[in-house]
Chains A and B, each alone.
Chain A
Amino acid sequence: MAQSNPPFMSGVPELLLLRLLDQQEMYGYELVRSVRTITDEAISLGEGVIYPALHTLERSGALKSRRKTVGGRTRVYYSLTGKGRTRLEKLANDWRRIQGGVETALETAVNA
């Protein structure tokens, strides 16, 4: 079972949210489901605490929101802004660098 937000996950939820919203606008429930799907259920975001994260990203200008009525229900849809795209690129590069470093460290440890 995927653990929700272990300590080393700092920054990962933000990266995943920005990555998903780069593709299409989504509302909170959709985002949580999509994170599970694209990570093969390896990462499970705390469902309630996703909203403070979304509000913070919106406040920082990385996301924008709009109300949309679908099937008789009004939902808040989030989408990425230009600033959000820049943030996504930076986070993705940071993550690749860390991932590469950890993989190198693991291989070195195995070969040693």
Chain B
Amino acid sequence: MPDPDFKELAHELLVSGFGPQRVQRLVSELEDHYDDLVQAALASGTDIAAAKASAQSSLGELRQVAVAMQEQPDLKCWAWHWPRVASILYPLAFIAVLPAVPLIVGARHAHEIMRWAGCMLLGATVTALMFLTLQLAITLG
């Protein structure tokens, strides 16, 4: 028996206007709950298929969770409550953050960038030495 489709629930909630952090937390709690139910069923001696079926039955339809969330509009993110403000602030925030993106990415990949810079420096040094040797050979020869 397949596990419940938590990804579909997450997608539905995100599209409905719930914030990513809230959706991630809810899905994580549901996944943990489902795992606990499966473990409890397995501990009672049932096989994995029966344990999963029992866990799904106890957890209930994820559709019901989505409906219960929809009944709580207060849990939706601020952009859902004030879409006009969001439509102004999001582009402004994007423009403000854009110049910092290369720096953030650079800081995250500092090790690779340093290694790449080292290789480039080594390559340039070797090339310069070869040219110097060639120049000296021409001059002295």
Q: Report how far A32 CA is from B66 CA in the complex, Å.
A: 19
Q: Report how far A46 CA is from B60 CA in the complex, Å.
A: 7
- A49 near B29 with CB under 8 A, answer no
Interface residue tally for chain B (C-beta within 8 Å): 23
Q: Report how far A46 CA is from B64 CA in the complex, Å.
A: 9
The proximity string for A residues 16-53 relative to B, scoring 1 for CB distances below 8 Å and 0 otherwise, is: 00000000000111001000000000000011110111
Closest to A32 in B: B33
Q: Report how far A53 CA is from B71 CA in the complex, Å.
A: 10
* A48 interface neighbour in B28, B60, B71, Cβ under 8 Å: B60
Interface residue tally for chain A (C-beta within 8 Å): 19
Residues of B within 8 A of A56 (CB): 72, 74-75
* A53 interface neighbour in B36, B62, B68, Cβ under 8 Å: B68
Q: Report how far A36 CA is from B66 CA in the complex, Å.
A: 24
Q: Beyond A28-B33, A29-B36, A76-B29, is A48–B62 a contact (Cβ under 8 Å)?
A: yes
Question: B30 in the interface, Cβ–Cβ < 8 Å?
Answer: yes
Question: B65 in the interface, Cβ–Cβ < 8 Å?
Answer: yes
Closest to B32 in A: A75
Q: 8 A-B contacts, Cβ less than 8 Å apart?
A: A28-B32, A28-B33, A29-B37, A47-B33, A47-B58, A51-B30, A60-B74, A76-B25
